[in-house]
Amino acid sequence: MPLRVIPALLLFFLTGCATTGTGGKDPEPVAPEPQEIAETIPSSTATIDEHLYEPEIEPVAADPADPHVHASVWERLVHSFALPECANHEKAVKWAQWYAQHPEYMGRIFKRAQPWIYHITNEIEQRELPGELALLPIVESAYDPFAYSRGRALGAWQFIASTGKNYGLNQNWWYDGRRDVWASTDAALTYLDTMAVMFDGDWLLALAGYNSGENRVARQVKKNKAAGKPADFWNLKLPRETRGYVPKLLGLTCLFKYPEQYDFEIPATPDQQVIAAVDIGQQADLVLVSQIAEVPIDVLFTLNPGYNRWATSPDGPYRIVLPVESAELLQAKLEQVDASALMRWDQVVVQNGDSLSKISARHNVPVSVLRSSNNLNGDLIRAGQKLRLPRDDQLMVDPLYAQAAVELQNLQSGLIAADQITHRVRRGESLSVIAKRYRVSVRELQRWNNISDPRKLRAGATISIFHQPAQPPVATSGSVKYVVQRGDSLWSIARKYNVRVNDLKNWNDLGNNSMIQPGQSIKIEL
């Protein structure tokens, strides 16, 4: 059945990811429970939707004489579907109905997926994998590359740190490959393909392994076979989340295969390349790249979410993803630009009494970065010595770099799975009073609640506050710095980040002391 298509849906503000699923392992019809629905609707404060790259491309008509020419990339994708028939499982049908009944939510997803879906579809076809895998980021993150779960998974494909490293996704001060859609797509498809081979071509088991770990699934398969029981996905004893994970994806499969049946309309996303990758070949200043390629800095950061800073990592990758036209322009200009002009540094003169650790703290730059930036083998420095220093985005006076710092902060502000609090304004309260009470900024309150004029705040109005760590987890190498809020305990923080209380004590040298204070900084290892 051909897809029904309409122009791309409107942009919506609320973002986030869906990671939890339905309960029960039997194939009996089970509708998503209210709690599960609430967990599915995103609640993060990410502002990716404010910066989306929306390409202006002319639609291409399908060619009946050529089955390889499709009116929409989504239509092409459906032709490569290969998973078991979704309509045979009533849980999947229930999820298809749920997705169809939430067009605003799906509209946000289609918008976010638009720059990437052509590339992802091509990668899937070249590997001869099931087309349904392109729908997996909907289940994992709602196609938000800045999505961050309490399970410490990051990116559109939701990799935890260890699995990401196992599949070549570097994570350091400069860069986190888990957020790099280009790199994480390659890693995710490789991981899924590996598990499909491991499970003898059973893709439902491979998907279950992606969610809960291949070893856990393998143990359950072995256990069922030893007991003479069926060892397919539907008969395995798996975690509740995993039991709902596969039906969610199958539900999306039903929705895309049979949109008319669900009275759902698929956007007409043209089956055309809209982004391209350029290998710079060296560390490069992203602000300079944006100038050379004549692309706005917010667009550049949106299409390159893996970069934590104003520059690529010195150890790579050096890949820059841009709109096709900008990529062509950059490629042409790189032949005329001196390589030394692609990177800018600040400089600091070592003072009496200085050490690398002191300079590190003063300029908010890890000691390891200072060493690598200055080819230092140890910590020995001398007064008068000049050190190269990565530009401090907190102290930048250059308007271009100041804008870059703002854009990065805006995009990365939603990386933490935030807790939402609703506050009812009391008589005499102002935004500054409320901000002080909840340890947030007035600007954040305005952004979260779309308040343009703070003077118009009225008693009885409700204000949303999102508690989150002061810094996104990507700002450090392998750890998150969480600022303790009023009412926090080690137990509540441990539960939020899915770690143990004893781990928190060890990471922060707390010993047997479990007392923490508001404003205190707590280190959490990713």
Catalytic residues: 140
Q: Is 191 left (phi over 0), alpha (psi -120 to 50) or beta?
A: alpha
Give me the helices (H) in 88-144, please.
90-100, 103-113, 117-127, 136-141
Q: What are the residues whose beta carbons fall under 8 Å from the beta carbon of 307, sequence distance 6 or more? A: 174, 175, 286, 301, 313
CA distance linking residue 13 with residue 18, whole number of Å: 16
State the amino acid at position 497 in one-letter form.
Answer: Y
HEC string of 442-482 equals HHHHHHHHCCCCHHHCCCCCEEEEEECCCCCHHHCCCEEEE
Residue 197: strand, helix, or coil: helix
Closest CA to 247 of 98, 90, 17: 90
Q: Please report, as a single letter, which amino acid is at residue 251.
A: G
- Read off the tokens for 289: 């790249």
What region, left, alpha or beta, does residue 58 occupy, with left being phi > 0 and alpha being psi -120 to 50 degrees?
A: beta
Q: From CA 274, how far away is CA 271, in angstroms rounded? A: 9
Tokens of 179: 């957020």
Neighbours of 233 (CB within 10 A): 26
Residue found under tokens 């309490």: 150
H or E stretch at 184: helix 181-198
Q: Is the CB of residue 48 less than 8 Å from the CB of residue 111?
A: no
Reading the block at residue 266, the tokens are 């698929």
Peptide bond between residue 317 and the one before it cis (omega within 30 degrees of 0): yes
Cα–Cα distance for residue pair 270/331, rounded to 1 Å: 25
